Structure 1
Amino acid sequence: MIQEFKTFIARGNVIDLAVGIIIGAAFTAIVNSLVVDLINPILGLMTGGIDFTDKYVVLSGTVADGASLAAARDSGAAIFAYGAFAMAVLNFLIVAWAVFLLVKGVNRLQRTVKREEEAKEAVAPTGPSQEELLAQIRDLLADRANPV
């Protein structure tokens, strides 16, 4: 059983998956920081600091007027938290846009590197053809056979 486990773990797929998850977690931190630390403050300036997170409607139960969403949830009342949902959708769209831009930039960089490599390959000098090499060998053998 231990040998089977070692074989399973040593497969390339498992290792690749683990690396992908680790890189994904690090990438998530970068994207979240981009959204929270850079994009959201700019949007807050442009919208005058509007935040819908605490907007809700009480469906049943009692909640003090002007209570925050957390206080309304803690009161046990049934609430329809449309503001939190709207902000979650907005944050998703911002994150999706940021990831799109990052992927687009990486793809552009990869295309540039590929074009440069192709240009280097095109410029690389080609050696003699097979026929030219065979002709040179023939001439060398002929010169050996007929010393002057």
Structure 2
Amino acid sequence: MASEESFVVLVHHRGSIKRKTRSGVKFTDKDPLCIVVNPTTSYDDLVRSMLMKLGLEGAKRVKKFFYRIPVTILHDTVKYDCLTIGSDEDLQVMFLCRRQFPEVRTPELLAKLIDVVSISGSSNRNTTNVATAAGSSSRAAVASSSVPVYEPAVQL
């Protein structure tokens, strides 16, 4: 893969989404990660790379990403909306938009992180998670609030 096809994506992992009238959508995290991707990067590769950089492998998982998608460009003003990314196909939209909107040099994502639930049902960083124990993918059991919920792995 040629290096000129690789580019940086800012991944916000704390913060929220703000709606503004002039620019549309803005992410509030002041300390985003920089992750290098290319058009062949899969959703799972992006998740793995982000969790590895944060040191949260096995403790957190990405429920979904929100993409700050450019929708219009008038003069020097770019208007953004928000698109949910949860699959390889969704991620391809970001690559396509990058080609269509060269004015937007650095795409931005906001990651919604949730705890990985251990075999005992608690959110403990030092125990084996259900996905590892069952041998399934990284899309495993999750905890939202204090109630454990099981989300089956999606087979593609």
The answer to whether the superposition gives a TM-score over 0.5 is: no
Look at both structures and tell me which one has the larger radius of gyration over its CA atoms: 1
Higher relative contact order (CA 8 A, sep 6+): 2
TM-score, length-normalised on structure 2? 0.19
Choose between structure 1 and 2: higher helix proportion. Answer: 1
TM-score, length-normalised on structure 1? 0.20
Choose between structure 1 and 2: higher strand proportion. Answer: 2
